Amino acid sequence: MSKSLFSLSQQIEEIERELVLRKRVYPGLIHKGTMTQSIANYHMGRIEGAKASLEWLRANETDVRAFVAAKAEARKKCPDCVGTGRRFWSVALSQFLPHGSTTDPEAKCETCETCGGRGAA
């Protein structure tokens, strides 16, 4: 099968289809003794967790895309001080918090002329 990109909604639909299938099949496997209830619960929990993660991502897609774009832009402007470390995440996240908030009061890059010590965000 070729590699394709499926939307978040399509991925959630596929997980929902799989959940329906498992709810039909697992009781028979448990009855036959080929699967225990605890293993069935484990696998159901994992797929329900995957569904919840995708639903959260879909609900927050705009903010996630904006954050990723801000991270990419920050790397262009200030690669030495806001690359991938803790400082970048704290400074970049601050744009999604109430004005003046930060996740880390020490989150600044003192060495950068481009960002003036606030990161490129």
What would the pLDDT profile of 15-63 be if each residue is shown by its tens digit?
Answer: 999 999 999 999 999 999 999 999 999 999 999 999 999 999 999 999 9
Q: Which of 39-43, 59-63, 77-81, 110-114 has the lowest mean pLDDT?
A: 110-114
Which residues neighbour 120 within 8 Å (Cβ) at sequence distance 6 or greater? 73, 74, 75, 76, 77, 78, 82, 91, 112, 114
Distance of CA 71 to the CA centre of its chain: 14
Q: Which of these three, 20, 36, 59, is where a domain ends? A: 59
Q: Name the more confident of 76 and 115.
A: 76
pLDDT on residue 89: 56
Looking up tokens 């484990």 gives 42
Residue 103 has pLDDT above 70, yes or no: no
43 and 91 belong to one structural domain: no
Q: Does residue 85 belong to any structural domain of this protein?
A: yes
Confidence of residue 68 (pLDDT cuts 50, 70, 90): confident
Q: Residue 43's domain spans which residues?
A: 8-59
Q: Does residue 1 belong to any structural domain of this protein?
A: no
Q: What is the mean pLDDT of the chain?
A: 77
Residue 1 has pLDDT above 70, yes or no: no
pTM over 0.85: no
Q: Does residue 37 belong to any structural domain of this protein?
A: yes
16 and 43 belong to one structural domain: yes
54 and 75 belong to one structural domain: no
pLDDT on residue 40: 98
